[in-house]
Amino acid sequence: MGVSEQARPPVIATRRSLWQCFRDALAPILASKVALVGLGLVGFWVFVAIFAPLISPYGPLEQDPEAMNLGPSAEHPLGADHLGRDLWARLIYGARTILVLAPLSVLCALAIGTTLGLIGGYFGGWIDEIVMRILDAIMAFPVILLYLIIIVTLGPSAINVVIAITIAGAPGIARLVRSLTLDIRTREYIAAAELRGENPFYIMFVEILPNARGPIIVDAMLRIGYAVFAIGTLGFLGLGLPPPSPDWGSMVCKGRHYIWLSPWAVLWPSLAISSLVIGLNLFADGLREETMRYQ
Amino acid sequence: MLLTMFIVSIIVFGITEIAPGNVARKILGAFATPEQEESFRRQLGLDHPLYVRYLNLLIGSDWRAERFVGMPLERIKRPGTEFYEWWAMDEDGTPIRWKLEGEDLIALRLQPDGTVIKSIDNGRWQTDESDVSTFWGIDMHDRAILWEKGSGQTYWLRTKAGGFWVEKASGAKKYIPLQKGIVRGDPGISVQTGRPVAETLFRRLQNSAILAAIAFVIVMPLALVLGLIAGLNEGKAIDRILSIGSLAGTSTPEFATGIFLILIFATWLKLVPGATVFTSAKAIFEKPEMLVLPVLTLTLIELGYVLRITRASMVEVMGTAYIRTAFLKGLPYWRIVFKHALRNALMAPITVIMLHVNWLMGGLVVVEAIFGFPGLGNYLYKSGLYKDIFAIEAVALVMVFLAVGTQLVADIIYTFLNPRIRYA
């Protein structure tokens, strides 16, 4: 008893405070101006999405017959669409949907892709061969084709959009994770864990995965950008969320018919998608540069 | 590659045909009765088991139908028209089809001049023990059919003129829609238009290829040159402008780019038409100005990406030791750039360009949907909206085939460019 208590290292000296952990995690972001700009753009949309009801006096479906197709005014800061719905309100409520759906679909893809990649990379052999063959086949599809046929079969809805993006995204992640796993598998600590007789799934998820997290996180950031793009495109093609939900892509699609009267209904959602995607890309780029530098 | 295509075909088939029930509903509209739906599905052969349908799609159904009919089946061009039709070949070599009128089987024999001679052909009925007369033959809608005498079966037919459905008497018990299969170049009949998919597909593919080729020819030199300029002037104003421009270009959704180009060039400036309208098969050459906006949109989408890769690659190469050595040797600047740096710097972008074909096709789908351009992408989109499953499958497989094929070509080109890589 006494021996083991002595052997335990003093807790306070090694354990960092929560704030320190937070600051360490933030350090690469703060160090890179590019990442900061990206974080700012993304942060802006997250902020307006969270506080949407407080920011805009209108709801996304409220109609003002006097403001139809009008440009920016004091009442409607960004103008109103063909049904007199406030564009700013629709934009920020649309940010809510897209900021839930995009990360959600990437998370699903991450969960599936990581698992498959770990299994393929760690076990190797015929399991690896089969898994990778199938994933290669999926990756051979142009993504938009995959989205189209999946959504066409399942019907347009938020969940099906998530499913489509998950199926299209998982193989890429699996490939990345597999290559990282193949590298990490040769390290001594994995051999040590195997020698201890650890469960292969313990090794995969507790030993390998945390050590592969850097590139995976950067990749996931980029993928959220693609997902935003994809959701917008699907919305534009009429395969995204069913109307009248405020979806950026379908806003463009609807506004397009009235573009001769007022280009605003198309301009703002397009800008919103661009800024969010640029923000995510810059954030990922900055993050990658910084993490590379430390390695 | 063959294996990949095989898996791809299973995936495509699986996704599109696992739930075919709503195909009928989509085509027939919301007011179709269950009988109409059932009849429609049977006529399309959607009541067959999954593996049979998969084989039909892949290698056709004529060989299967031949066993039942007992005569060779052939797809021949009807003299005087441009339609291909399925006919059974009688012993004397005349093409023959049948129809049922009341209790009588009518044989239709195609003469070499395109006319059809009708005759009653009741001798072909085969009567079994329970006194039921049946006959396997080819009908006038390119299907192998098992007729049963006096069964009182009816089927629903969509009239060509009104598009509404009429019930007709027929003795058809089983249908096998005839097709040669996608491997043999015939993915079936479009559910939506009733015309062979392959015909439409080929024309659309041509249009898309022209569009993509023009965009490709414009984008690639432009992107490579601009990328090199940006890479050589790293950190200077021109690099900043090009980098930010390319970032904005790639981050703007294709549809937004397209719509704003229409707004600016077609609506405000009235320089070029904002939509592509094809009045004839050769319209693409008669009115090339229709292509300006689609090509411009594709260019803007693609430019940024290749530009960024080229820039990064150039920056990397210019920082290497052998370039510094060249500088130290006192070689002239342009000589260093063109003789030493260029070839190595172009390696990455060229592979990326080839791998980018996937991306280009995605752009094509959206651009063609915006401009109403009758290309492959638009075909996919429209048949997707109408759940025209055979068309979807065919387009999807063709697209994937093109993508996989270009990747193979990219691999081969890469070995030529980079002598360090050798494939055993």
Res A5 pLDDT > 60: no
Q: What is the pLDDT of residues B358-404, one digit of tens each?
A: 777 778 888 888 888 888 888 888 888 777 778 888 888 888 888 88
Is residue B222 classed exposed, middle or buried when 0-12, 13-18 and 19+ CB atoms within 10 A define those classes?
A: middle
Rounded to 5 degrees, φ, ψ at A229 are: -60, -45
Residue A113, pLDDT score: 93
Which residues have CB under 8 Å from B407's CB, separation 6+? A140, B354, B355, B357
pTM comes to 0.79
Q: Do A149 and B15 touch (CB under 8 A)?
A: yes
**Chain B residues 343-382 within an 8 A CB cutoff of chain A:** 358-359, 361-362, 365-366, 369, 380-381
Mean pLDDT, residues A81-108: 84
Q: Do A144 and B385 touch (CB under 8 A)?
A: no
**CA atoms within a 13 Å half-sphere pointing along the CA-CB vector of A53:** 0
Q: Do B400 and A263 touch (CB under 8 A)?
A: no
Q: Does B392 touch chain A (CB under 8 A)?
A: yes
Mutation target to probe the B interface, by most B beta carbons within 10 A, among A274, A280, A292 is: A274
Mean pLDDT, residues B173-198: 73
Q: Which of B349, B362, B404, B394 is nearest to B184 (CA)?
A: B394
Q: Give, in order, the Cα–Cα distances in Å from A82 to each of A68, A233, A236, A243, B63.
A: 5, 21, 16, 14, 57
Q: Does A229 touch chain B (CB under 8 A)?
A: yes
Q: Give, in order, the Cα–Cα distances in Å from A280 to each of A34, A36, A158, B198.
A: 11, 11, 22, 42
Structural domains in chain B plus CATH codes:
61-178 (no CATH), 198-417 (1.10.3720.10)
Res B117 pLDDT > 60: yes
Which residues have CB under 8 Å from B59's CB, separation 6+? B181, B183, B184
Q: Do A145 and B262 touch (CB under 8 A)?
A: no
Residue A106, pLDDT score: 93
Q: Do A273 and B256 touch (CB under 8 A)?
A: yes
Q: For all residues of chain B together, what is the average pLDDT?
A: 76
Predicted confidence band of residue A183 (pLDDT cuts 50, 70, 90):
confident
Residue with tokens 């919301």: B30
Query: Distance, in angstroms, between A64 CA and closest chain B CA?
Result: 26
**Chain A residues 30-49 within an 8 A CB cutoff of chain B:** none
Q: Does A59 touch chain B (CB under 8 A)?
A: no
Query: Would you state the torsion angle of the CA atoms of residues A83, A86, A92, A98, taken in this order, to the nearest 10 degrees?
Result: 10
Q: Do B8 and A141 touch (CB under 8 A)?
A: yes
Q: What is the pLDDT of residues B134-169, one digit of tens each?
A: 777 777 777 777 777 666 566 666 554 445 556 666
Predicted confidence band of residue A268 (pLDDT cuts 50, 70, 90):
confident
Query: Distance, in angstroms, between A76 CA and closest chain B CA?
Result: 22
